[in-house]
Amino acid sequence: MIKRKNKILIIYTGGTIGMQKDIATGTLVPFDFSRIIEHIPELQLIDKEIDTLSFEKPIDSSNIQITHWLKLAEIIEKKYDNYDGFVILHGSDTMAYTASALSFMLENLSKPIILTGSQLPIGDLRTDAKENIITSIEIAGSYENGKPLVPEVGIYFEFKLMRGNRTTKANSEHFNAFDAPNFSPLVQSGVHLKFYKHRILPLQSGIFNVHKILSKDVIILQIHPGMTKEQLLHIINIPQLKGIILQTYGTGNASTQKWFIDALKQAIEDKNIVIANVTQCHSGGISPEKYETGRKLVEIGVLNGRDLTTEAAVTKLMYLLTKKLSKLGLTNAFERPIRGEMTI
C-alpha cells in the first residue's frame, strides 16, 4: 500500500518573499507562484504534495487590513478538509498581527498554519526566502501517528518556529527578524527539526470554526511623558471607540495625575470603553499591583494584559469585542490565555 503524501497549500498574500527583479528595469515585481518549482527546485525533494494559491492582487503587508485577515481565514475554511497544513507567505512588517488575528479567528484549529516571509526577495543570491519556505512546508506537513505535530498558528523565520500570537518583529535588517520574547520556540531547525512538544498547544477536538467578525473600533495608545489632558480626551472621544490597548511603562505603570486617571475612568464607566494594560517593554509582562502607579489603573477597571505582545493584545480585543460577552466574561477571557498567547 502506497502511503499518501501530506498535502500542503501555499497561500501567497504579497511581500518581499514573492518578488523577483525585472532584468530590463531592475525593479522588483511579483512572480507567478504557480511556477514556484522553477525558483525553488529543491521542493521536488520534499515528500509532500504542494499546491499554491495567490491573492489576485498581492499586497504590501503595510496595507493589511481586517478584510485581508478575513479573506485568509475564509480560504483556509474552504480548503481545510483538502489539505494537511497551510503555509502563508506574507510581508514581515505586519506578519505578527496577522498570525495573532488568525490564532483567535480559527477556532478549534487542528492543523498547522505556518506564516513565513523573507528579508530579501526569492530571486536574490543571498535570499533567506528558500530556507524559510522549505522548512515551513516541512513543519506544516509533519505528522506523527496521523496527527499534526504543530496544530496551531506559527511564524517561521531564521531557523525557528514561534507561536504566532507570541511573536513580534524585532529587527528590520537582520535575517533573524522576529522574536517571541516571552515564549521559547516550538521548533528549532538544524541538521534535524527538533519539536518541543511540551510547548505546542494540544490538538483540539471541537469542530473547526472561523470567527468572521473583528471589531475595527480598537486603537493602541502608547503613553509618554508630556502627554496632555487634551490629547487623551481627544482619543477617548473618538466616535464608536470600543477598546484601547494602553502601552504603559515597565511593569504596567502610568501617571497618577488626577486628570489622567479621571479620563480613563470616565472612558470605562461612562463610555463602556474596554481599556487593557500592556507594557511598552520588548520582553516581560506587567504586574500593575506592584506600584501605586499601576494599582490606580487596576482600581478603575483597566484589564491586565500580563505578558501579551501588543499585536496579540489588539487582535485579541478585536476578537473578544464581537463575542457578545458580559463585562465580566470579557474581562475573564482577556486576562486568561485562550490560544496560548499569555502566561499565567
Are residues 48 and 141 in contact, defined by beta-carbon separation less than 8 angstroms?
yes
pLDDT level of residue 175 (50, 70, 90 thresholds): confident
Q: Give CA–CA dist 217/202, Å, rounded.
A: 32
Q: Is residue 147 part of a domain?
A: yes
Question: What CATH code is carried by the domain that includes residue 77?
Answer: 3.40.50.1170
Residue 88 scores a pLDDT above 60: yes
Confidence (pLDDT) at 25: 74
**How many CB atoms within 10 Å of residue 334?**
24
Residues 263 and 173 in one domain: no
234-270 pLDDT, tens digit each: 999 999 999 999 999 999 999 999 999 999 999 999 9
Can you tell me the mean pLDDT for 117-127? 79
Could you give the number of structural domains in the chain? Answer: 2
Residue 325 scores a pLDDT above 80: yes
Residue 191 scores a pLDDT above 80: yes
Are residues 89 and 12 in contact, defined by beta-carbon separation less than 8 angstroms?
yes
Are residues 152 and 163 in contact, defined by beta-carbon separation less than 8 angstroms?
yes
Residue 136 scores a pLDDT above 70: yes
**How many CB atoms within 10 Å of residue 116?**
31
Residue 151, CA distances (Å) to 109, 173, 196 in order: 7, 30, 13
Confidence (pLDDT) at 311: 98
CA contacts within 13 A on the Cβ side of 178: 35
Q: Is residue 340 part of a domain?
A: no
Q: Is residue 341 part of a domain?
A: no
Residues 148 and 74 in one domain: yes
Residues 157 and 39 in one domain: yes
- Residue 120 DSSP label: S
Residues 90 and 165 in one domain: yes
Q: Which of 171, 159, 69 is nearest to 119 (CA)?
A: 171
Residues 176 and 256 in one domain: no
pLDDT level of residue 23 (50, 70, 90 thresholds): low
Residues 54 and 184 in one domain: yes
Can you tell me the mean pLDDT for 277-301? 93
Residues 273 and 155 in one domain: no
Q: Is residue 342 part of a domain?
A: no
Question: What CATH code is carried by the domain that includes residue 298?
Answer: 3.40.50.40
Q: Is residue 156 part of a domain?
A: yes
pLDDT level of residue 185 (50, 70, 90 thresholds): very high
Q: Give CA–CA dist 247/82, Å, rounded.
A: 41
Q: Give the cell for residue 257.
A: 495625575
Residues 202 and 224 in one domain: no
Question: Among 210, 231, 252, which residue terminates a domain?
Answer: 210
Residues 204 and 228 in one domain: no
CA contacts within 13 A on the Cβ side of 131: 18
Question: Which residues are catalytic, by number?
Answer: 16
Residues 170 and 101 in one domain: yes
Q: Is residue 343 part of a domain?
A: no
Residues 203 and 271 in one domain: no
Question: Among 141, 175, 210, which residue terminates a domain?
Answer: 210
- Beta strand pairing call for 243-248 and 218-222: parallel
- Per the prediction, the chain carries an average pLDDT of 93
The backbone torsions φ and ψ at residue 263, rounded to the nearest 5 degrees and listed phi first, read -65, -45
Stronger pLDDT, 15 or 125, i.e. the higher one:
15
Q: Is residue 1 part of a domain?
A: no
Long-range contacts of range 69-75, CB-CB < 8 Å, 24 or more positions apart? 69/98, 69/101, 69/102, 69/105, 69/214, 70/105, 70/212, 70/214, 72/11, 72/13, 72/98, 72/102, 73/102, 73/105, 73/106, 73/210, 73/212, 74/210, 74/212, 75/11
Q: Is residue 344 part of a domain?
A: no
143: domain range? 6-210
Residues 225 and 269 in one domain: yes
pTM, whole model, 2 decimals? 0.94
Question: Among 210, 241, 270, which residue terminates a domain?
Answer: 210
Confidence (pLDDT) at 122: 76
